[in-house]
Amino acid sequence: MINFIARYFTSLWAFITSPFRAMWRVICRIFPPREFTVMDTPRGNVYTFKQSSFWRFTTFCGKIGLIVWAAWSTYVFVYHRPLLQKRTQELADAESMHARQMTDLQVYLEKYNNLTRDLNVIDDKILNSDDLTDKQKEELMNSRLKTWGELDFLRTRLTEMFTNEKYAAEYTKLSELSAEYELTRAENDSLKKRNTQLIESMQQITTADAQIVDMVSQLTDENIDTLRNNIKGITSTIASLGLTQNKLINSANKFSNPLVGAAFTPIEFDKNLDPKYQKLADDLELWNGLTKLNNMLPLGAPVDKPRVTSNFGTRDDPFTGEPKKHRGIDFAGKIGTELMAVAPGRVVSAGERVGYGTTVEIDHGLGFTTLYAHLSQILVTRGDWVRPGTVIGLAGSTGRSTGPHLHYEIRYKGVPFDPSKFVKE
């Protein structure tokens, strides 16, 4: 190798630079030096300029570079401009998405803080308030469950935002309303599930409702028959007073006092519903009326062991011997025999009456009153409320009486009538 270099090259440097010198010789043959003359015609001067091979090569390379740059720029402008616009739009979308994500994060964090505060307030009320009613506690627990559900949803969304690299904001409106919409949508899904459960529960309730209606209808029919039988014996008596059973039932439903309760409000159902509901409501109204009527009518005897000594109607007067109408029934009894109210009512009179002696009169409502005469002692005062079995006085022989007994009358609108069937019932 050294011999080769020494034979053909004068030095090592000449060997190293030989390729470059060869290339330069080629360039010089392609771009040989040249001269050109420029004449300054107005002044008559002639100028000669020389262009070396290096100058010509450099100028050529510059022109080639300019042409290549112009061609590339034209290509990029014509063919790459849509791609650049797309990339620019993607960048803008990415920036917008980032801004929305940041807004979502701010809204979520604010809502999360508010819900956490509300949850703490509710817990504090539940734990530290001793005077809460059951209804208030139930409302607080429902509010707590709702707040906890919203809090759990926000916690899930925040976790996804921080851990999911592909998280994308779902909101276009960067406001609290968008977050509320998302919460509402989650609640709507929950409501759909609850609605499905409610539908199943309603089917069970419908079945149970049918069974209950049938059972109550059967009970009302049986009790109505029983209650009708209780007052069947006085049908002819109330008919003689110009009354009917239905008329008395309607009056009883409308009547109210502290002992028999409030008036009954009729129930009316939509005509489009199953007729069985309206029939049941009508039966309940009839049942209530019959029950009140049985309680209000003065049925039964005013003494423990009744023994009638004189009936209602015309008889010989014990003092004059002449026929005279007897307005009630006389019950045998010793002085001091306890006399009882036969139905609930209010004492409207307690004192002396001409011919009757010491008397007590009780108003039972619906126009019916009972009168106890010839008492030896009164144990109630005017205005007192009495119940069935209340001792209102003691038997005696005051007034126009021939011996100890109870003169007992039942009156309708102030007019006495034969009480025998009421007493037997």
Query: Are 246 and 316 part of one and the same domain?
Result: no
Cβ proximity of 39 and 46 under 8 Å: yes
Residues 374 and 402 placed together within one structural domain of the fold: yes
Q: Is 232 among the domain residues? A: yes
Q: 325 has which bridge partners?
A: 314
Residue 106 lies in a domain: no
Q: For the chain, what is the domain count?
A: 3
CA 365 to chain centre: 43
Same domain for 353 and 397, yes or no, is yes
Domain co-membership, 362 together with 392? yes
At 4 the pLDDT is 60
Q: How far apart are CA 7 and CA 13, in angstroms?
A: 14
**Whole-angstrom distance, CA of residue 359 vs CA of residue 383:** 14
Q: Are 267 and 284 in contact (CB under 8 A)?
A: yes
Reported as a single tens digit per residue, the pLDDT across 235-283 is 888 888 888 888 988 899 889 888 888 888 887 877 777 777 778 788 8
Give, for all 425 residues of the chain, the pLDDT tens digit.
566 656 556 667 777 787 888 888 888 888 888 877 777 767 767 777 788 888 888 988 999 999 999 888 888 777 777 777 777 888 887 777 777 777 777 777 777 778 788 878 877 777 777 777 777 777 878 887 887 777 777 777 777 766 766 665 554 444 454 555 566 666 777 777 777 778 777 777 776 666 666 676 677 777 777 787 777 778 888 888 888 888 988 899 889 888 888 888 887 877 777 777 778 788 888 888 888 888 899 999 999 888 999 999 888 877 777 888 888 999 998 999 999 999 999 999 999 999 899 999 999 999 999 999 999 999 999 999 999 999 999 999 999 888 899 999 999 999 999 999 899 75
Q: What pLDDT score was predicted for residue 185?
A: 65
Q: And the tokens for 319?
A: 């003092």
Clarify whether residues 315 and 415 are in a common domain.
yes
Token reading at 68: 């290549």
Whether 313 is covered by a domain: the verdict is yes
Please report whether residue 148 resides in a domain: no
pLDDT of amino acid 411: 95
| 59 CB-near residues (< 8 Å, 6+ apart) | none
Distance CA 392, CA 409 (A): 15
Q: Would residue 397 count as lying in a domain?
A: yes
Q: How far, in Å, CA of 233 to CA of 258, rounded? A: 28
The reply to whether 40 falls in a domain is no
Whether residue 228 is contained in a domain is answered as yes
Of residues 420, 370, 374, 381, the one with CA closest to residue 399: 374
- Domain annotation covers residue 135: no
Do residues 217 and 276 make contact, with C-beta atoms less than 8 angstroms apart?
yes
User: Helix, strand, or coil here: 175?
Assistant: coil
Tokens representing 146 are 């709702």
**For 44-133, where are the alpha helices, taking DSSP H only?**
53-75, 81-128
3-class secondary structure, 104 = helix
Query: By residue range, what is the domain housing residue 365?
Result: 308-424
**323 with 395, same domain?**
yes
The answer to whether 325 and 314 have CB atoms below 8 angstroms apart is yes
Q: Is the separation of the CB atoms in 416 and 367 below 8 Å?
A: no
What does the pLDDT read at residue 159?
A: 75
The reply to whether 316 and 249 lie within a common domain is: no
